[in-house]
Amino acid sequence: MFLVTGGAGFIGSNVVAALNDAGRSDVAVCDLLGQDGKWRNLAKRQLADVVPPAELGDWLKGRRLTAVIHLGAISETTATDGDLVIETNFRLSMRLLDWCTANATPFIYASSAATYGDGEQGFDDDASVEALRRLRPMNLYGWSKNLFDLAVAERAAKGEPLPPQWAGLKFFNVFGPNEYHKGPMMSVLARRFDDIKAGRVVQLFKSHREGIADGDQRRDFIYIDDVVRVMMWLIATPRVSGLFNVGTGKARSFKDLIVSAYGALGLEPNIQYVDMPEQIRGSYQYFTQSGVDRLGRAGYNGGFTRLEDAVGAYVKGFLDRADRYR
């Protein structure tokens, strides 16, 4: 059996879909479904169990698992409850790491590009303790993720016991189906699609930095199918362990993203640039771009979808349909 924590969430539900599509119905999800319709992310799936996080410790007792895919976390970059974030993102991760080590179970987990902070230290997925200690995440979420990366890296550096396979994945700006429950944390494409389709103006931030045009703030946007492909490759390649960036390696602008959506619908862009709120100007990232060489050196050659093609697949396959769920 596979265990996917956070399996009802955005990335998790897409991983569950891929496992089902690969013929695996022996998939247990650990998540909270709540009352906001998150269950719809799993409505087309076959599951072996749905485990509340509070019961996970007891559920694991005496079990043998094919792999643990640990994606469950408080992922809001605006989270402020330090105790809750540490308990959820760090301590639970440590317990799962220890369980997988003791039970010789592959462990694939979500880190985050938020660990890089403002990017001053670059975006190199160097898994050494020294490199990870130099990172300065800008929010509580990013700090909690880097704290866990450090714990794993230190064990690896000291030759201490670890699972037979362990892989931490630093996701960049992932977008795609089943992100709709995330509210303000959805991709700007998902948030603005109804405006695009209806012909209403779409607002993007002006630039407040010399030499960067309005709307030309850049991110490493990566389509969810590419992310899942990396994870399925890792599951099928147990010899590979390490900490890896998961991005395309090519930064594109927010304007490119939105213009691509208009293009997928055959519409002319209708974009208005507005001032960035004062309170976020000092901490706003103008550029993120993953280094993906380490993943390539590990043997991954699945490639990444061009932004325009990814947006087209998302718009035509999901956003512009009555049923937007995978």
Q: Which two three-digit tokens encode residue 316?
A: 């035509």
Q: Is 11 annotated as a binding residue?
A: yes
Q: Is 75 annotated as a binding residue?
A: yes
Q: Is 72 annotated as a binding residue?
A: yes
Q: What are phi and psi of 120, to 5 degrees?
A: -60, -30
Q: Is 10 annotated as a binding residue?
A: yes
Q: Is 177 annotated as a binding residue?
A: no
Q: Is 197 annotated as a binding residue?
A: no
Q: Is 31 annotated as a binding residue?
A: yes
Residue carrying the six token digits 């043997």: 299
Q: What is the Cα–Cα distance from 242 to 128, expressed in whole angstroms? A: 10
Name the residue among 225, 246, 229 with its Cα closest to residue 289. Answer: 246
Q: Is 118 annotated as a binding residue?
A: no
CB 68 within 8 A of CB 108: yes
Q: What are phi and psi of 168, to 5 degrees?
A: -100, 135
Q: What are phi and psi of 183, to 5 degrees?
A: 55, -125
Q: What is the Cα–Cα distance from 287 to 289, expressed in whole angstroms? A: 7
- Mark whether 61 is an active-site residue: no
Q: Rounded to the nearest 10 degrees, how much is the dihedral formed by the CA atoms of 127, 129, 133, 136? A: 10
Q: Is 205 annotated as a binding residue?
A: yes
Q: Is 212 annotated as a binding residue?
A: no
**Alpha helices (H) in the chain, listed in sequence order:** 10-21, 56-60, 82-85, 92-102, 129-134, 140-157, 188-198, 224-236, 254-265, 278-281, 293-297, 307-314
Q: Report angle CA 44, 247, 123 to the nearest 5 degrees.
A: 145
Task: Kindly write down the DSSP assignment for every residue of 172-189, as one continuous string.
Answer: -EEE-TT-GGGGGGS-HH
Kindly tell me the number of DSSP H helices and DSSP E strands found in the chain: 12, 13
Given the residues 109, 116, 141, 180, the one annotated as active site: 141
What is residue 214's three-state secondary structure? coil
> Which residues pair with residue 70 across a beta bridge?
5, 109
- Mark whether 116 is an active-site residue: no
Q: Is 71 annotated as a binding residue?
A: yes
Given the residues 109, 158, 180, 182, the one annotated as active site: 182
Q: Is 219 annotated as a binding residue?
A: yes
CA 111 to chain centre: 8
Q: Is 178 annotated as a binding residue?
A: no
Annotated binding residues for NADP(+) = 10-11, 31-32, 38, 71-75, 145, 174, 182
Catalytic residues: 141, 182
Annotated binding residues = 10-11, 31-32, 38, 71-75, 145, 173-174, 182, 184, 205-208, 219, 284
Annotated binding residues for substrate = 173, 184, 205-208, 219, 284
